[in-house]
Amino acid sequence: MEVKDANSALLSNYEVFQLLTDLKEQRKESGKNKHSSGQQNLNTITYETLKYISKTPCRHQSPEIVREFLTAMKSHKLTKAEKLQLLNHRPMTAVEIQLMVEESEERLTEEQIEALLHTVTSILPAGPEAEQKKNTDDVTMDEEDPA
């Protein structure tokens, strides 16, 4: 076993989610040899990783959304690692942006941080909890109306 390149490319959580979901579908179709002892490790790691990524906002992304996000990010001049973190975490506050972007106080003004937040929240779809919260907010607003 030889490692030719230990860092040949960075993968976003969405890409890994897509890959594992496709792998799961393929194996479900082929059926019989999933439960042999050799495949148990693959089953475990696939299940746990899918469970983890499903709880993040990445599960609602698509290749078009990612492409749109990267084109929008071009103007902000961020490094690849910073763009990847923004894509994986979908920060909603300025504090989170300061964590992910190195030396953000020197590189970005407050308006630029606001613009960045706006781009992130408008292009990337929200995670499952944020959608739930949005639904409960809508429900409470309806309840207030008759009063």
Least separation in angstroms between CB 18 and another protein: 11
User: Two tokens at 70?
Assistant: 């990267």
In the bound state with another protein, the residue whose beta carbon lies nearer, of 44 and 62, is 44
Q: How far apart are CA 68 and CA 66, in angstroms?
A: 5
19 binds another protein (CB under 8 A): yes
What are the CA-CA distances from residue 38 to residues 34, 59, 78, 124 (Å)? Answer: 9, 29, 43, 38
In the bound state with another protein, the residue whose beta carbon lies nearer, of 33 and 146, is 33
How far is residue 72 CA from its own chain's centroid?
16
Q: How far apart are CA 42 and CA 91, in angstroms?
A: 31
Least separation in angstroms between CB 83 and another protein: 13
Interface residues with another protein (CB under 8 A)?
1-13, 15-16, 19-20, 23, 33, 38-39, 41-42, 44-46, 48-49, 51-52, 56, 81, 85, 88-89, 93, 95-96, 98-100, 102
